[in-house]
Amino acid sequence: MTPASLTQEPQSVSSAVTRNAFFIVATVNEDAASRATVRAWCADVANLVRAVGKRVPAGNLSCVVGFSSDAWDKLFGEPRPAELHPFREFGSGERKAIATPGDLLLHIRADETDLCFELATQLMTRLEGAVTTVDEVHGFRNFDMRAIIGFVDGTENPTGNEAAHFTVIGENEDPDFRGGSYVLVQKYLHDMKGWNALSVEAQEHIIGRTKLDDIELDEAVKPSWSHSALTTLEDDAGNEIKILRDNMPFGRPGSGEFGTYFIGYARSPKPIEQMLENMFVGLPPGNYDRLLDFSRAVTGGLFFVPSQPLLEALAAVDPAVDPAAAPGVETSAADSSETQTEPAAAACADGSLAIGSLKGAPRYE
Ligand code: HEM
């Protein structure tokens, strides 16, 4: 397999599997000063990860930052990632992948909770007054990589060059945004009483794998409505299309809350959305994922993850030509005095974000 050709170092999308993860989703407050704070913060993220991570060198600390479609427009304007759009909902009624508010996603991973906690504190302190947190989940690794429903989670993930191939935008796909990724998150709550009332065999049919030793069920036995069958995608030539997941269990046993924070990275939102459609609507429609009879999605967001150099370059977008203050974009009362007549612009006068001129990024070919 030839991995995607890259000239821009990705953020730590395919970081080591860690014991802990914090997921923070926030909205950017509706004034020009808040937007300027968020833009400036983009240049601080890598330094903060380095500073905090140095304190426990073996702790595998990393942070991935993503921006929603609305956030991109109000913070950075044009150019914009080709496939970035608001979260698409799938399904209906009780079985629905819902969209919920969120401009910024922080995916903080480390082996120790204190590392995640310290980095989250440092990052959020710098955003104080500029963003409003709408969801925060602290996930933990559960025994041998088991989701809270007792099955090993993450087995079929791509690794190494294959992970880069499936998650990182290549040179010829979206040139201004090469080295970037898309990430989709959903917070699920489980009906553990209902799930635990099933026999192990019934649970195995729902997942499509054995519970104790995590072996894929034989095609002759695996139902077409199993989670594994509905999330396995192939292209027209019969090659498998993968995504990179790093789901984390979370919960509050004292309150009866048991959950899975789903997080999936890919170089396009399309495969993840196809999986959601298969799960929630069914393939064919009606043949839906029975895991959803015991799991309810309570959040949903799609974000673009710029390459590491682009994240830093975004800090240089000129607030004097703040995209959200440009004509045709609604501004709050607080903004109106700052409304500009210039069109939205990016870091460079040529509108290129200057990412082609950044040096030092590795190249995978
Ligand atoms: C309720 C939340 C979820 C739970 C508890 C869950 C759990 C699991 C488990 C236990 C496996 C089997 C082991 C593995 O290969 O990882 C699996 C596989 C997989 N899941 Fe999920 N999952 C959830 C949601 C999702 C969502 C929302 C998607 C995509 C939109 C997804 C995509 C996949 C994929 C692609 C596989 C690998 C399938 C294969 O190649 O066999 N999962 N999941």
The Cα 333–Cα 32 span in angstroms is: 10
**Residues 251-299: tens digit of each pLDDT:** 999 999 999 999 999 999 999 999 999 999 999 999 999 999 999 999 9
> Of 60-69, 151-160, 193-202, 339-348, where does mean pLDDT reach its minimum?
339-348
Whether 17 has a pLDDT exceeding 90, the answer reads yes
Residue closest by Cα to atom 4 of ligand 1: 260
Respond yes or no on whether the N-terminal peptide bond of residue 327 is cis (omega within 30° of 0): no
Residue closest by Cα to atom 33 of ligand 1: 231
What is the average pLDDT across 20-46?
Answer: 97
What is the average pLDDT across 228-242?
Answer: 97
Residue holding tokens 């508010």?
101
Alpha carbon of 84 to ligand 1 centroid (Å): 23
Residue-range domain boundaries for the chain: 4-190+243-270+303-316
Give the confidence band of 327 by pLDDT, cuts at 50, 70, 90. Answer: low
Cα distances (Å, whole numbers) of residue 3 to 119, 229, 278, 304, 364: 31, 25, 27, 20, 7
When the pLDDT of each residue in the chain is averaged and rounded to a whole number, the result is: 89
What percent of the chain has a predicted confidence (pLDDT) above 90? 83
**Residues 161-191: tens digit of each pLDDT:** 999 999 999 988 999 999 999 999 999 999 9
**Residues 79-98: tens digit of each pLDDT:** 999 999 999 999 999 999 99
Mutational pocket test of ligand 1: of 247, 263, 281, 302, the residue with most ligand atoms within 8 Å of the beta carbon: 247
Give the confidence band of 362 by pLDDT, cuts at 50, 70, 90. Answer: very low
Please tell me the predicted confidence (pLDDT) of residue 325: 74
Please tell me the predicted confidence (pLDDT) of residue 215: 98
Please tell me the predicted confidence (pLDDT) of residue 223: 98
- Looking at residue 66, its amino acid is G
Q: For residue 236, how far is the Cα from the chain centroid? A: 26
> Of 32-46, 62-76, 188-202, 317-331, where does mean pLDDT reach its minimum?
317-331
Please tell me the predicted confidence (pLDDT) of residue 326: 65
Alpha carbon of 159 to ligand 1 centroid (Å): 16
Mutational pocket test of ligand 1: of 257, 262, 270, 277, the residue with most ligand atoms within 8 Å of the beta carbon: 262
Whether 357 has a pLDDT exceeding 80, the answer reads no
Atom of ligand 1 nearest to the CA of 152: 10
Whether 332 has a pLDDT exceeding 80, the answer reads no
For residue 52, count CB atoms less than 10 angstroms from its CB and return exposed for 0-12, middle for 13-18, buried for 19 or more: buried
DSSP 17: P
Alpha carbon of 43 to ligand 1 centroid (Å): 34
What percent of the chain has a predicted confidence (pLDDT) above 70? 87
Q: Which residues line ligand 1 (CB under 6 A)?
A: 147, 149, 151-156, 186, 188, 207, 209, 227-228, 231-232, 243, 245, 247, 260, 262, 264, 272, 275-276, 291, 295
The Cα 143–Cα 70 span in angstroms is: 38
Please tell me the predicted confidence (pLDDT) of residue 317: 85
**Residues 46-73: tens digit of each pLDDT:** 999 999 999 999 999 999 999 999 999 9
Q: Could you tell me what percentage of the chain is helix, strand and coil, using 3-state DSSP and rounding each to the nearest 5?
A: 30, 25, 45
**Residues 102-155: tens digit of each pLDDT:** 999 999 999 999 999 999 999 999 999 999 999 999 999 999 999 999 999 999
State the catalytic residues.
153
Alpha carbon of 242 to ligand 1 centroid (Å): 11
